[in-house]
Structure 1
């Protein structure tokens, strides 16, 4: 009996020595676990905000998301370029050298770029491919160039207006993410849908076909009505977690308080509740440009909450 016990213990030890991956598989975080991920959009409003302005808690995983790269030309009256992306963020203050500087200063910082956005110049920014194959080819080439120039880590998909059907959107964006990941150009990808029928139809088609390649869902909860209550917010979160089943749905607020559940009205109560349920996959903010005026106080509070061990 004693010998068999000894044998069993020896086998377990040998298995651990010769199969180190076994332990990491057991410890891998399932979707139902909390995260310390904090993300912030930056650069869309050209008010001279810099990476170094934003407080960074060393105990969180921090992603800056440059806003935006758009496949439009940079003329005074921009038109679509079929996947040939240009930089439309405040590149004077958020330059390649500044990306390198903030990443060198903070080992927990990664920087991504977001595609599309709501508008370009004074009009809507449309997803408007000439054909799926040509768009994907152009997008892979142009984005690889920008990502490598700026030393970026990931992409975020934030198209909000469409001149293509959901299946074409899913095909183009899915193939783009897959190719950039396979080529080692990016290490993560996210999507940024909100509760609008046309928007949801496009992103859910993408999720259905390529959800396994999408690391985070930056759901724009601030696009719900201003004055959202904590209980409404929890319902919205559950609904969108179901819509993006198996995904890491991040919660969010808008700095100027113009929509959704604001930090002054219970946002952190909702976050604490989700954290206690192992459902807080991270927090993101739109945007650093607006938060600059209030000293980034809600960014500090968000990161402090995320940094608390569960």
Structure 2
């Protein structure tokens, strides 16, 4: 007997419901130009997986050093090894994989990447136009906001308006299905992102909080306290825990109990997901922590 259309529809709805609530694994990739490819990274098919291309930056790469362009974004990731055809290939191979791009980052050519719009309206118009081109060219699914430096420190309203209007426009235009922000525990950074959150939380799906920006002496109990604090700061949001595989990275390392802390949060029903910075660094150790993280998350599904 063949299943009815109604039965198939109900199964699809159930699958989509589970997928939307399942804990997420995310991985930044492409910032270090060391030849890492999507296909190098192990993917657990039982876990929603986001690759995040690092970075698209509103700077002119033809100048030395690159200079701000007021919202005209260019590709600054390793597009040779992470091309539009590579995006299509990994998404075709793994239906659970989506690919996003991240805006900003900390530095470009050794200089700070400053958020420095000349006006909200022109920055938003330029950003929507330039990012639409990149998103369509690469068939991307989402956007991540990772500005870490601000030309006008304290001007949180401009940041909130620019980024909030950008994400809203990209979603309303059907160009992206999810958005994340990537703050860390710095007073200037937090003031900007919490202003954005206060005004535009409804269009932000994940908070990729950089817990690896804390000190490398962080203990499990401190990590859990940090998580609880950020859960309060980003009240209704899905705050992801994070670790860095870079040499000399801060935060809670696997050796000091990162996965123990993740299991504790999982047992409390609070583990929304894990992200790792970055695939470029993990290439040297064979992506062992990516495998471990996804295995843990699969147990929450």
TM-score, normalised with respect to structure 2 = 0.92
Match of residue 197, structure 1, among 177, 187, 190: 187
Match of residue 56, structure 1, among 22, 28, 43: 43
Superposed CA RMSD in Å reads 1.8
Matches within 5 A, 1:71-220: 71-75=58-62, 76-164=64-152, 165-220=155-210
1:284 is aligned to 275
Contact 2:185 2:213 in 1 (8 A): yes
Shift of 1:294: 0.3
Unmatched tracts of structure 1, length 5 or more: 1-16
CA gap 1:34/1:97 in 2 versus in 1, 3 angstroms: closer
Shift of 1:212: 1.0
2:290 is aligned to 299
Find the residue that maps to 2:67 and give its secondary structure: coil
Runs of 4 or more above 2 Å deviation: 33-36
Shift of 1:122: 1.7
C-alpha distance in 2, partners of 1:175/1:309? 34
Find the residue that maps to 2:252 and give its secondary structure: coil
TM-score, normalised with respect to structure 1 = 0.89
Contact 1:34 1:278 in 2 (8 A): no
Match of residue 241, structure 1, among 196, 213, 231: 231
C-alpha distance in 2, partners of 1:187/1:285? 21
Shift of 1:227: 1.9
Deviations 1:188-231 (A, max 9, x none): 00000000000000000000000111000000000000021000
Shift of 1:73: 0.2
Contact 2:266 2:300 in 1 (8 A): no
Larger radius of gyration: 1
Shift of 1:285: 0.3
Match of residue 258, structure 2, among 258, 264, 267: 267
Contact 2:65 2:111 in 1 (8 A): no
Shift of 1:300: 0.2
Unmatched tracts of structure 2, length 5 or more: 1-5
Aligned pairs, number: 286
1:230 is aligned to 220
Find the residue that maps to 1:94 and give its secondary structure: coil
Contact 1:39 1:64 in 2 (8 A): yes
Contact 1:66 1:89 in 2 (8 A): yes
